[in-house]
């Protein structure tokens, strides 16, 4: 079994590879550069996943920490897609629970694309009754929710997710609306590809700090899911 190297950051070639792949998304080009892909993208992501795993285990021992489950594949499934490009132009890792109906539970992610590096946490594919219950809980205890999430926002995270076409009526102040008006909801930070932290171990330290910072919000979302009876 090949030993996973320690994480020392991504490489400037990581950016170049993803940007060139975006312009040359076909099999021959990729096959000629598969070794480059492994060296500048796959191996650094594997090493990053390993160095983050102890912290993420402390956040939630139920996370699936097998590298094969944490890392995305570069190959696209084009069978049912109008886009027939064979390769993804980004790679990501995620920390998700090993559980039935895992898609309802919150998860963490970090993604390196041809345009940016993004990371965050939230409810990405919840059933409607999960997100409905989230809104109910916010309405029941708006003060404690604001105290918890203000800390998250103060560290530079932003609220994101798909919004409803028609705003949902509620009596809460403007602060809460980004959380109340979405079909899925998560917090993200986006770094430009010029950020020097990406090319050293500093990005791992930043992820450890920020992922720990938003752990209370993660556990709040877990409780929301657990309080909802999930049907197959």
The CATH number of the domain holding residue 219 is 3.30.930.20
Greater confidence (21 vs 76) lies with 21
Report whether 119 contacts 189 (CB < 8 A). Answer: yes
Q: What is the mean pLDDT of the chain?
A: 93
Three-state DSSP class for residue 46: helix
Spatial distance between the Cα atoms of 47 and 126, rounded to a whole number of angstroms? 30
Residue 5: what pLDDT? 67
125-184 pLDDT, tens digit per residue, is 999 999 999 999 999 999 999 999 999 999 999 999 999 999 999 999 999 999 999 999
Q: Determine the average pLDDT of the residues in 190-206.
A: 97
User: Is pLDDT at 124 greater than 80 in this prediction?
Assistant: yes
Q: Does any domain span residue 232?
A: no
- 101 confidence band (pLDDT: 50, 70, 90): confident
Determine how many CB atoms are found less than 10 A away from the CB of residue 97.
Answer: 18
Which ranges of 102-201 does DSSP label H, i.e. alpha helix? 128-140, 142-154, 177-180
Report whether 117 contacts 15 (CB < 8 A). Answer: no
Q: Does any domain span residue 106?
A: yes
Burial level of 210, CB count in 10 A (0-12/13-18/19+)? buried
Greater confidence (89 vs 103) lies with 89
User: Is pLDDT at 1 greater than 70 in this prediction?
Assistant: no
Q: Determine the average pLDDT of the residues in 23-27.
A: 95
Report whether 101 contacts 228 (CB < 8 A). Answer: no
User: Which structure tokens are listed for 87?
Assistant: 């390769």
Q: Does any domain span residue 156?
A: yes
pTM: 0.93
Report whether 121 contacts 96 (CB < 8 A). Answer: no
Spatial distance between the Cα atoms of 147 and 152, rounded to a whole number of angstroms? 9
- 83 confidence band (pLDDT: 50, 70, 90): confident
Three-state DSSP class for residue 212: helix
Give the number of domains in the chain.
1
Task: Select from 55, 58, 53, 60 the least CA-distant residue to 219.
Answer: 60
Residues 4, 93, 206, 117, Cα dihedral to 10°: 120
Q: Does any domain span residue 1?
A: no
Q: Determine the average pLDDT of the residues in 90-107.
A: 90
Residue 99: what pLDDT? 78
Out of 22-26, 75-79, 126-130, pick the least confident: 75-79
Residue 2: what pLDDT? 54
Q: Does any domain span residue 204?
A: yes
Q: Does any domain span residue 92?
A: yes
- 3 confidence band (pLDDT: 50, 70, 90): low
User: Which structure tokens are listed for 61?
Assistant: 């021992």
Residue 67: what pLDDT? 84
Q: Does any domain span residue 5?
A: no
Residue 102: what pLDDT? 79
Which ranges of 10-158 does DSSP label H, i.e. alpha helix? 12-23, 27-32, 34-37, 43-59, 67-70, 128-140, 142-154
Residue 35: what pLDDT? 97
Q: Does any domain span residue 182?
A: yes
Which structural domain, as residue segments, surrounds residue 159? 12-227
Determine how many CB atoms are found less than 10 A away from the CB of residue 135.
Answer: 19
Greater confidence (79 vs 63) lies with 63
Out of 97-101, 113-117, 210-214, pick the least confident: 97-101
């Amino acid at each position: 079994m090949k030993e996973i190297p320690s994480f020392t950051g991504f490489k400037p070639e990581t950016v170049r590879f993803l940007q060139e792949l975006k312009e040359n998304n076909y099999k021959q080009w990729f096959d000629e550069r598969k070794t480059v892909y492994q060296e500048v993208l796959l191996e650094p992501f594997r090493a990053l996943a390993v160095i983050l795993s102890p912290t993420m285990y402390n956040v939630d021992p139920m996370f699936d920490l097998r590298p094969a489950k944490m890392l995305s594949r570069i190959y696209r499934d084009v069978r049912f897609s109008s886009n027939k490009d064979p390769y993804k132009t980004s790679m990501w890792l995620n920390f998700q629970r090993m559980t039935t109906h895992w898609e309802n539970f919150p998860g963490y992610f970090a993604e390196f694309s041809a345009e940016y590096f993004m990371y965050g946490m939230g409810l990405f594919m919840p059933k409607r009754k999960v997100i409905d219950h989230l809104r109910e809980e916010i309405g029941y205890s708006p003060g404690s929710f604001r105290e918890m999430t203000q800390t998250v926002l103060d560290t530079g995270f932003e609220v994101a997710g798909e919004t409803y076409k028609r705003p949902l009526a509620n009596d809460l102040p403007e602060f809460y609306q980004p959380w109340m008006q979405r079909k899925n909801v998560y917090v993200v930070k986006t770094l430009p590809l010029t950020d020097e932290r990406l090319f050293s171990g500093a990005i791992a330290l930043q992820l450890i700090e920020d992922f720990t910072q938003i752990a209370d919000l993660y556990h709040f979302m877990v409780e929301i899911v657990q309080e909802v009876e999930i049907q197959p």
